[in-house]
Chains A and B, each alone.
Chain A
């Protein structure tokens, strides 16, 4: 694999924030903000795949949408090839949208049920005014072949396909305009185990043939390790750890990352016997690091380090001081006061 670390930045996200106000009414402005994304910064190089992992409600999907300006960010900058997307008007955004696409989690909900596949796949060409009618048809057939479907599928409706095939159509739509960046929001989590591998392999092939960079959002740590060059772990709207996937999986520094890694079951170990993972933290039962409690509400995050109520190694200072994301080794960022 060529190392993408020396490539130029494709995407640079600086202090991106997205707050949603809740509890207000028509006349009364609400005072309560849900900090879905609370100041995240990262870069994505050309040809690189960055994984964004975390539990539901940690803000990973909102971050993806704010980056593509599918929701307007509250503050912060998103530099795409040096251009600040947040400062552009929707009209100026339009041509750039060809280069950045999104794949959604549930393919059946993101394809119009009353339109044929051919017409769904033609849509991007129509919107961006690319190619004439006959050429569009040819491009659609080419796309279907590219994602491993049959040209005659163009005449069918979404309900005639299985989940894995629908996700292939979702991918075909995303690659129609040869994008440079694809944001994949949990692209395989609604699929069956045997189909997941097919879709991941397809995305990998497209990455190599079309030189696509991915922002890959997932909660499946094993797939992220397989697919991503670098990984950012999010907790309650903030990035708590970011490193190359090799580093993050062999030497996790944040207790939250450690917990996420320790609960991944291994096929190699037998029943009741967990692999002896070199955990730095003691775990109560078995070899796993069990984290007590639930993810807190982003409307009312805990003081200090947001992870402190669930953290097995917290100290007094964690309750009051907010940890900054700092670089502890080249390319390895951690937001923890104790590490």
Chain B
């Protein structure tokens, strides 16, 4: 568990538009350990998806631009290697699944063709062997009557089944890392549970690492070992999932935790939910000092001027806040 498979250093990504340059991801650093599920949590616009797409240089350039940083995988910097080498990594060593399985599957190709594509691209399997492997993969992601499904098209499947196919496709070449960008957001609750269960099951079987991007805190506490909380393009807190949600160190994490109603506590707590006031700031008018200060309940004078830096506080935890001790 101590080896890191992916090391991200000081990643900074910006987009240029008519309002000038906007920094979507502002210098984030983290490590993904072997065999762990690392969750990246945040609200819309906090830069979590852009950060993940940049790892494989999947953001459109221009308008996007990776300003600084390095992404080290297998002793190579993914941000520097040539497109040929990058293509070898994509899909084989590092695979990705997206939020909406309908728009990420090709509607005019059969499922069989789509699953076989990475196999034919990255391995030396013959067409027949690839076919058999594809059927086996469908079976692995628990799709009923897989042989039949090989000749079907995406529209013939339900949302949950499509997401299973996506996961299957991502796993074809036994990747070391799976990047899952909001894999259950578009699905119904019961189907969400199925997919989470499947991901966890597959992780245990294959030993791969998963970078899970989500806004669903509940899902995070269920399956992630470590969590990174992002706000306005920066990491505000990180640490082991359990401790992080048990005793949040950053007021934003605490706010997120409290704003979700807890089951079975209706009678004990008062009727109002604890809210985080205000809105997520837009990137072209970020507040001075700490980006969270206008919404922070424990704001101090210093927060309005000085920007806090991410500091280690022991037990594998980091926080970026001027507050000493726990927020209330």
Q: Choose among A194, A197, A221, A285 the residue with the greatest number of B CB atoms under 10 Å from its CB.
A: A194
Task: Report the bound CA distance from A195 to B201 in whole Å.
Answer: 33
- The distance from the CB of B205 to the nearest CB of chain A, in whole angstroms, is 13
Q: B224 to chain A: which residues have CB within 8 Å?
A: 271
Cβ B215 vs Cβ A192 within 8 A: yes
- The distance from the CB of B137 to the nearest CB of chain A, in whole angstroms, is 19
Query: Does residue B306 face the partner (Cβ distance < 8 Å to A)?
Result: no
Cβ B272 vs Cβ A194 within 8 A: no
- The distance from the CB of B270 to the nearest CB of chain A, in whole angstroms, is 11
| Contact flags A269-293 to B (C-beta < 8 A → 1, else 0) | 1111010000000000110101110
Task: Report the bound CA distance from A250 to B160 in whole Å.
Answer: 29
- Given A192-B280, A267-B218, A269-B222, the answer on whether A197 and B189 have CB atoms closer than 8 Å is no
**How many B residues face the partner with a CB closer than 8 A?**
51
Task: Report the bound CA distance from A291 to B197 in whole Å.
Answer: 11
Task: Report the bound CA distance from A196 to B272 in whole Å.
Answer: 12
Residue in chain A with minimal CB distance to B222? A265
Cβ A272 vs Cβ B223 within 8 A: yes
| Contact flags B176-220 to A (C-beta < 8 A → 1, else 0) | 000000000000111111100100110000000000000111110
Q: Considering the complex, which residues of chain B in the window 208-263 have a beta carbon less than 8 Å from any beta carbon of chain A?
A: 215-219, 221-225, 241-242, 245-246, 255-263
Q: Considering the complex, which residues of chain A in the window 208-256 have a beta carbon less than 8 Å from any beta carbon of chain B?
A: 219, 221-223, 225-226, 245-246, 249-250
Query: Does residue A266 face the partner (Cβ distance < 8 Å to B)?
Result: yes
- Given A193-B259, A194-B259, A294-B158, the answer on whether A286 and B264 have CB atoms closer than 8 Å is no
A197, A265, A295: the one contacting B188 at CB < 8 Å is A295
Residue in chain A with minimal CB distance to B255? A194
Cβ B276 vs Cβ A55 within 8 A: no
Q: B279 to chain A: which residues have CB within 8 Å?
A: 162, 164-165, 195
Task: Report the bound CA distance from A196 to B194 in whole Å.
Answer: 25
- Please give 4 more A-B residue pairs, beta carbons under 8 A apart, in addition to A249-B264, A266-B263, A271-B225: A197-B258, A204-B271, A264-B189, A269-B222
Instruction: Enumerate chain B interface residues (CB-CB to A < 8 A).
Output: 37, 43-44, 158, 160-161, 188-194, 197, 200-201, 215-219, 221-225, 241-242, 245-246, 255-264, 266-267, 271-277, 279-280
A and B contact pairs by CB, cutoff 8 A, 27 listed: A55-B188, A55-B190, A193-B43, A193-B256, A193-B259, A194-B259, A194-B275, A194-B280, A195-B279, A197-B260, A201-B273, A201-B275, A222-B261, A222-B262, A223-B261, A226-B261, A249-B263, A264-B263, A267-B260, A267-B262, A268-B221, A270-B221, A271-B221, A285-B201, A286-B197, A288-B197, A290-B194
